[in-house]
Amino acid sequence: MRKFFEKNGVFGLFVTVLTLILGLVDGTVLMAAGAEAFPVGGDKGNPESVGVNGDLDSLTTRRESPDLIEDTVLEEVTKIRPYIAPLTSVINHAKSRKAGSMEFGWYSVDTRSVSATVTAFAATAADARGNTGATLTVDNAALFAVRDTIYVPTVFGSVAGVTNTTPLACLVVAKNTENNTITVAAINGVEADGEMSVPNIPANTKIYRMAKAAAEGEMKTASRMNLPKKSKNFAQIFKFQVSQTTIQKLSDKEVKWELPEQEEQGIFEFKMEQEASALFGVKGLTFDPVSGEEIYTTGGIVSSITNKYELEKDDTTGAIPTENLVEMCKFIFQGNSGSKKRLMFAGSDFTAALSKVDTIEKQVEAGNTVVAWGIEWKEIRTNFGTLLLMQHDMFDLYGYSDKAVIIDPDFVDKYTFIPMKREELDTRKSGEFDGDVVVFTEVCGYALRYPSCHCIVELGE
C-alpha cells in the first residue's frame, strides 16, 4: 500500500475506490439509466448495428451477423475437378517430336490388305489342256500380283460332280488394274474328265491373298512396291493469359485469390481446350478479315481416323449382345499392323451400354483395372486384343456421348514447334495496363500415323 501511495498519490486512491463502488451497482440500474442513449434495437446513429440480450456465442453471431465469422470452406476455393484431358496426357508422356515450322509432315507405310470383294464373275475360254479359268472383277485389283494364290473359304470345288469339302484355291495368272479385274486358274476347282474349271464365285464374296507360287526355273516375279505416304498438319499457337490490376492485388479479400490462383484455373481451362482441339480440331489456315492476319489451326485425331464401326444393340432388350462386342473387337484388331492393346475413350452413354455386357460386367467386378500414363483404366480382355477403357467427360460436352474413339498410342504423336512457356509482360512501362500480366504459349500439333490402327465406334439404334 505504501508503494501504491508513493506511485499514485491520494488522487489515485480516490479513483480506485470509486471504480470498486460502481462495480457493485446492479447492472440493471445501469441499463435503465442508459436505455435511452443505447436502446436494445441498436445505435440511433447507426441503425444497422444490432444489440442482443444474452451471452455472445457463435450461434447467435451467425444468426444475427452471418458474415462476421468466415466459414472454413471459404478459406480455400474448391479445386476438385474431373480429369478432363486424358488424351493429351497420354501423348505428353510420349517423346515429343520437333516441328521445324508451323507446317509439319510425316511418312507412314501401312500393311497391304489381304482381302478383296468380288463384284462380278465371268468364265474364260478353256486353255490348251481344257482347263477353264475365270475373270473376277474385284473392288481393288492392286492388292494382287501375278503368281499370287488366293483363298475363297465360302466356295467349294467338286470332284467328278461330288462336292468337295476343301475351300476353293486359285492362282492369279493376269491382272488389269484399269478395270479392276484379275484372271485366275483353279487349283482345286471343279474337276470333270481330267479337266479343271473355276466354279462360280458369287458377287460380294470375299477372297483372300496368300503367298506367291513360282514356276520351276523362274528367276523373277512381280515386284512388290510399298511406298510411304506423307501426311501433313499445322501447328496451332495455343495461348492463354491471366492478369491482375494493382488495385485488385492490394485489396483485402475474404479468400486467397491472387495471380497464382488465376494461373492454376487458367491452366485447367487451357488443358481442356487443348484436349478438344487434339480430338476434334480441323486443320486450316484461316484469314481473319478484322485483323488481317492468318491463323493456323491443327487437325485433331478424329478427323484423321478412317475406320468407322457401328455397335448394334439388341432390338428387344436394347442391350449389346456379347457376340456383337466380339465382332467389334475383331474389326478393330484384325487386318492392321497395330498393337494388341489399345485405348478406348468413350462417352457416358457408350460406357453405360458397354458396362451392361455380361463379359465386361464380370471383368469390372473382378477388378480388372490398370494404371498407365498416370490414369486408371478399365481393362477389357478379348481373344483379339485388350482395350483400356476410360469414360471421357469431354465426349458428352462435344456430342460424343454415344461414341467411342479407339487409338493405338504407339501411333499418335505430338509435334512441338515452341514448347510451353510462361512470360510475365511489363505493361506498366508502356502505359498499357497497371497490373501484372502473365501469358502462357505453346505451339504444337498432332499426328495420327497408320489410320487403320484406330477406329471410331458408334452405338446403333
- Grid cell digits, residue 333: 484388331
According to the CATH classification, is domain 115-212 in 2.40.10.170? yes
The per-residue pLDDT for 403 is: 94
The per-residue pLDDT for 361 is: 77
pLDDT greater than 60 at residue 1: no
Residue type for 131, please? N
Percentage of the residues of the chain whose pLDDT score is greater than 90: 23
**Which residues partner with 195 through β-bridges?**
192
The per-residue pLDDT for 218 is: 65
Q: Which has the closest alpha carbon to 190: 155, 215, 151?
A: 155
Q: What's the CA gap between 130 and 118, in Å, rounded?
A: 25
pLDDT greater than 90 at residue 338: no
> Region 326-346: what's the mean pLDDT?
89
pLDDT greater than 50 at residue 24: no
The per-residue pLDDT for 34 is: 41
- Grid cell digits, residue 375: 490414369
pLDDT greater than 50 at residue 153: yes
Greater model confidence, 414 or 2: 414
DSSP secondary-structure letter at 192? Answer: E
Average pLDDT, the chain: 78
pLDDT band at 342 (very low <50, low <70, confident <90, very high): very high
Q: Per residue in 155-203, pLDDT tens? A: 887 655 556 668 888 999 988 988 999 999 988 888 777 778 888 999 9
- Please state, as a whole number, how many other Cβ atoms lie within 10 Å of the Cβ of residue 299: 23
Q: Per residue in 219-245, pLDDT tens? A: 556 656 556 677 889 999 999 888 888
Which residues, in sequence order, are CB contacts of 289 under 8 Å at separation 6+? none
> Region 43-53: what's the mean pLDDT?
47
Task: Tell me which residue has cell 485389283.
Answer: 141
Q: Which has the closest alpha carbon to 345: 445, 453, 268, 456?
A: 456
Roughly what angle, to the nearest 10 degrees, separates helices 259-280 and 86-93? Answer: 90
> Region 323-339: what's the mean pLDDT?
86
DSSP string, 217-261: T----PPP----EEEEEE-EEEEEEEEEEHHHHHS--SS---HHH
Q: Is 198 helix (H, G, I), strand (E, B) or coil?
A: coil
Percentage of the residues of the chain whose pLDDT score is greater than 70: 75
Q: Per residue in 430-447, pLDDT tens? A: 888 888 888 889 999 999
Q: What's the CA gap between 80 and 256, in Å, rounded?
A: 16
> Region 73-102: what's the mean pLDDT?
69
Q: What's the CA gap between 212 and 214, in Å, rounded?
A: 6
The per-residue pLDDT for 457 is: 94
Taking the domains of the chain in order of start, what are their residue ranges? 2-72, 73-108+231-461, 115-212
Q: Is 53 helix (H, G, I), strand (E, B) or coil?
A: coil
Q: Is 81 helix (H, G, I), strand (E, B) or coil?
A: coil
Q: Is 169 helix (H, G, I), strand (E, B) or coil?
A: strand
Please state which of the ranges 28-37, 272-281, 351-360 shows the lowest mean pLDDT: 28-37
pLDDT band at 109 (very low <50, low <70, confident <90, very high): low
Q: Which of 96-100, 170-174, 403-407 has the highest mean pLDDT?
A: 403-407
The per-residue pLDDT for 386 is: 92
Do 234 and 284 touch, CB atoms closer than 8 A?
yes
pLDDT greater than 70 at residue 311: yes
> Region 277-295: what's the mean pLDDT?
90
Burial 73-100 (b: 16+ CB within 10 A, else e): eeeeeeeeeeebbbbbebbbeeeeeebe
The per-residue pLDDT for 287 is: 87
The per-residue pLDDT for 143 is: 85
Task: Give me the phi and psi of 114, to 5 degrees please.
Answer: -105, -5
pLDDT greater than 80 at residue 68: no
**Which residues partner with 156 through β-bridges?**
167
Please state which of the ranges 38-47, 219-228, 390-399, 452-461 shows the lowest mean pLDDT: 38-47
Q: Would the pTM count as exceeding 0.75?
A: no
Please state which of the ranges 46-60, 106-120, 171-185, 324-338 shows the lowest mean pLDDT: 46-60
pLDDT greater than 50 at residue 40: no
The per-residue pLDDT for 39 is: 40
pLDDT greater than 50 at residue 352: yes
Q: What's the CA gap between 305 and 325, in Å, rounded?
A: 20
- Grid cell digits, residue 232: 501433313
Q: Which of 48-62, 79-93, 95-109 has the highest mean pLDDT?
A: 95-109
Task: Tell me which residue has cell 484461316.
Answer: 286
Greater model confidence, 82 or 116: 116
